[in-house]
Chains A and B, each alone.
Chain A
């Protein structure tokens, strides 16, 4: 019998929860709750290093089916306890971080593929299923979802839908909202909403879109039905290098507007290009140096860079003036003859934009290592500096303006580089990577906040969008009013309608309005 004596939740509530999910599916252990008080948001890592993590949740539970989730939500609503739905907690904006105590509802035990309709190319799966497991199972049946976020090993279907995620192959396969056909959601009043599994219709659509991107603030997504693609029968890789960024961007725009749909289309800005090739544009695989892994290579590089980060404007200026070339990576997949033609046409477009053909290897190399980068980050933090990513988007005629405006705003506080991916005929997303440090832990936190404030203020001013696919969470909530352009009242109306008590993930998505904030909920001590 687990000890619940020290729990800050009322005893009766705890007993009721045990009644719903069973002895094995809840925990109030301090160490466990602490581990759940952070996601992959860089600020949380810094807080941890500084010993300043925020108050944990009061309990974590692992329901096994939608009826248990329903009962938990009813309990939370009756007792006005905050509820935080959680998949794999790999978000980077603090979306699953408890701010006012409450109960974390971890959906990982709801991980079944409920139904695969091979004729209609549809799959229904539960929200807690982890991305890579899901994709692998679909592959066995000859399908692909086409959704490959770099967090695929540690993110869940529910998390994807709640945050509006996008994968690395989105230029061909679309984003999560293009894949969702119907949803199963437990509403804050405990009712279950199941939207219809039918091809796109006018009203079904708006119901889905109320919950896609709701980041846990409007209900708990427990399952989704998604449309599938046939597993690709062919794949082609291509690298190019352009004399400058502008030509590279023209090439991408022309490809998308020529109706090509490469699965992967990534243009690295000159600084990123310079770093990844250290000034030399590789055209063939390098022989493997004895004992030097990709990870160690990165750390080796990091040690060289660290001293410069105390005054980032110096290395930034050096790199920005010296680095000129821009690297492009393309991957095509699908029907063999169509892949071949798209590949051929892409080459023509790139050559016309002044690009130099660098063959298959740069793209193949990227493909091989595409998930590894994120996992090497922890070593970087150990070395005493921090990294983060800022991803925005805009239309083509504003893209370079947005890029240079934001680069300028970030440059004094952090080393900054970027790549352009998730391309559309209308525009593109920009993915900034930043690295910075501070002399003390407090200093680092301060600098971190400054970098983000400068970056997002610049973004808003330059007409970009706050986030292309990482979401809002806590990190960007302050800027939602500006982003919404006067449509925020609709968002508040949704929240007031669906979650009038404000129990669902308080403090996320929107700042400064009680309905999204704490809204007078009972504090953990009561």
Chain B
């Protein structure tokens, strides 16, 4: 059977299962689904270059339908990509073969908000913003505010193990999961126990989180929720340099004065955002925010925290920078895309995680390296007791699009090298996927081999999200001729 015949057969099966309205295979739709926010994809698209096209997109509404789709796909050895809102920046949802895309956005029920347990049961296709609004109406919050707040789904967070801007207080999505529902690579359905915690062997929920839909498809989850904070106490502090700013961040996290938001901008970042955030004219801006339903306790922590920051050399800049940060925090990703229209400049970001001991050294090294190719700035966030994330933003320019791409690649390579040398991690949120896969291999070492073997054991036909996380050798982007050779 030819490739085209096989695909036609699958489309027919999908239509039989879901109905014609819930299966789409026209060319225009396939083009739209072939890209997401990742820049080269957008640039390529604007130049008429498309890497891979799926053969069909389908919209299941229940886990049983997902189960049947996977079984059919597996029987026909057609790969499956799971799609939420396409807001990933790491090519997580780009089709690798002429596969099927399962768009989960029709699984959009918020099944239950449980006031006694402080949990919510929610399907993977629900958008962040919608979930948060529904919870707010009941007096709760999920506490999860990724930069893609307005255009990401629950399923996306779970498969990429995302973190939001208030993760210092509320935790990352992995800390919020009570139970998962979904299907394995053979289509069988699973529902893990609803318990706050167990000692019943390896934690399956945690193993599946961040696996980027390569080991299973998650269709719904039971998540922790938090009562809405009554009061938000946000403030800005000025520090002379990055080193003293980092020391101050570390102090708050290690002395239980944990704020909800703790973000330090380096001098370049502080200058770039100065107008928007009313930051200092030189040095570094540290945005600190305390918020909690328990306002008495929160106010105490804020008072102690602000005192400590002053003791460590911080200049109190008042509320304004904090409040302005709150106002502008989502506009950053949208502002970056403005640069796309200037065809000779490329803007990109790299996040890495590092322990406190190595944080400043890594920052200095990476910024120096990037300066050879373009402009760089950084901010530090998602602090915890043992370390912090560094979020580098850089811009490279060149009139030649090939040279431009080269410069971007060089920045990535040198940054990843610095991380591997110093011992930091290239693999924090929001997921791994094709872009970082090559460095992931080096970072994980023996662990990478283990995950590859696990993938092969769980999904021997390489149906689920092939090629992502560089977990399957045969998963690299392929043209139809390659697949025919496999037969």
Q: Using a CB–CB distance below 8 Å, which chain A residues touch chain B?
A: 117, 119-122, 163-166, 175, 177, 181, 187, 191-207, 209-215, 218, 227-230, 253, 257-260, 334-335, 337-338, 341-342, 345, 393-398, 422, 424-429, 463-472, 476, 480, 483-487, 489-491, 493-494, 496-498, 509-510
Contact = CB atoms under 8 A, between A and B. Distances in A.
Which of B388, B389, B450 lies at the interface centre, i.e. has the most chain A CB atoms within 10 A of its CB?
A: B450
A175 B194 CA distance: 18
B425 A187 contact: no
Contact of A335 (B172, B304, B454): B304
A476 B356 CA distance: 41
Given A214-B202, A480-B201, A199 B384 contact: yes
Interface in B8-22: none
Interface in B276-307: 292-294, 296-297, 300-301, 304
B355 interface: yes
B454 A493 contact: yes
Contacts of B210: 202-203, 205-206
A395 B196 contact: yes
Given A191-B446, A199-B353, A338-B301, A490 B204 contact: yes
B178 A395 contact: yes
B235 interface: no
A4 to B, nearest CB: 34
A496 B458 CA distance: 10
A204 B427 contact: yes
* Interface residues of B, dominant DSSP: mixed
A25 B388 CA distance: 43
B254 interface: yes
Contact of A472 (B200, B443, B458): B200
Contacts of A467: 198-200
Contact of A193 (B208, B296, B355, B447): B447
A163 to B, nearest CB: 6
B2 to A, nearest CB: 33
Nearest to B210: A202
A426 B447 contact: no
Contacts of B189: 486
A481 B474 CA distance: 33
Given A206-B209, A489-B188, 19 more contacts: A121-B385, A193-B445, A199-B355, A200-B172, A201-B427, A204-B425, A207-B447, A210-B450, A260-B294, A393-B198, A398-B194, A426-B118, A426-B178, A427-B195, A465-B193, A465-B195, A480-B201, A485-B191, A490-B208
Contact of A187 (B193, B204, B431, B446): B446
B425 A196 contact: yes
Which of B184, B294, B386 lies at the interface centre, i.e. has the most chain A CB atoms within 10 A of its CB?
A: B386
A396 B428 contact: no
B327 interface: no
Interface of B: 114, 116-119, 160-161, 172, 174, 178, 184, 186, 188-204, 206-211, 215-216, 224, 226-227, 250, 254-257, 292-294, 296-297, 300-301, 304, 353-357, 382, 384-389, 423-425, 427-429, 431-432, 440, 443-447, 450-451, 453-454, 456-458, 469
Given A121-B254, A198-B425, A163 B199 contact: yes
15 contacts: A120-B386, A198-B387, A198-B423, A202-B209, A203-B210, A213-B201, A393-B198, A427-B195, A480-B200, A484-B193, A486-B191, A487-B190, A489-B458, A494-B454, A497-B457
A214 B201 contact: yes
Contacts of B186: 489
A57 B192 CA distance: 35
Contacts of A342: 297
A257 B227 contact: yes
A164 to B, nearest CB: 4
A341 B191 contact: no
Contacts of A395: 114, 117, 119, 178, 194-196
Contact of B206 (A181, A193, A206): A206
A487 B202 CA distance: 11
A393 B196 contact: yes
Nearest to B203: A209
B208 to A, nearest CB: 8
A166 B174 CA distance: 19
A509 B198 CA distance: 13
Contacts of B195: 393-395, 427, 464-465, 468
Top 5 nearest A-B pairs (CB, nearest first) are A202-B210, A486-B190, A164-B199, A202-B161, A199-B387
B248 to A, nearest CB: 14
Contacts of B215: 490
B252 to A, nearest CB: 12
A509 B201 CA distance: 7
A205 B161 contact: yes
A119 B356 contact: yes
B254 A466 contact: no
Contact of A227 (B161, B196, B386, B425): B386
A203 B432 contact: yes
Contacts of A397: 114, 116-117
B447 A195 contact: yes
A170 to B, nearest CB: 9
Contacts of A202: 160-161, 209-210, 427-429, 431-432
Contacts of B440: 203
A491 B250 CA distance: 38
A129 to B, nearest CB: 20
Contacts of B211: 206
Given A395-B178, A397-B116, A491 B201 contact: yes
A278 B451 CA distance: 56
Which of A122, A258, A465 lies at the interface centre, i.e. has the most chain B CB atoms within 10 A of its CB?
A: A465
A213 B198 CA distance: 10
A206 B200 contact: no
Given A494-B202, A497-B450, A334 B432 contact: no
Contacts of B354: 198-199
Contacts of A496: 457
B357 A119 contact: yes
A501 B187 CA distance: 27
Contacts of B190: 484-487, 490
B204 A199 contact: no
B184 A122 contact: no
Contacts of B292: 259
B428 A201 contact: yes
B445 to A, nearest CB: 7
A199 B382 contact: yes
A334 B256 contact: yes
A510 B202 CA distance: 12
B478 to A, nearest CB: 24
Given A120-B356, A206-B207, A426-B119, A491 B202 contact: yes
A259 B198 contact: no
Contact of B294 (A215, A345, A480): A345
A341 B303 CA distance: 13
B297 A337 contact: no
A337 B308 CA distance: 14
A480 B192 CA distance: 12
Contacts of A166: 197, 199
B293 A258 contact: yes
B377 to A, nearest CB: 21
Given A395-B178, A396-B117, A207 B450 contact: yes
B453 A201 contact: no
Contacts of B117: 395-397, 426-427
B184 to A, nearest CB: 6
Contacts of B429: 201-202
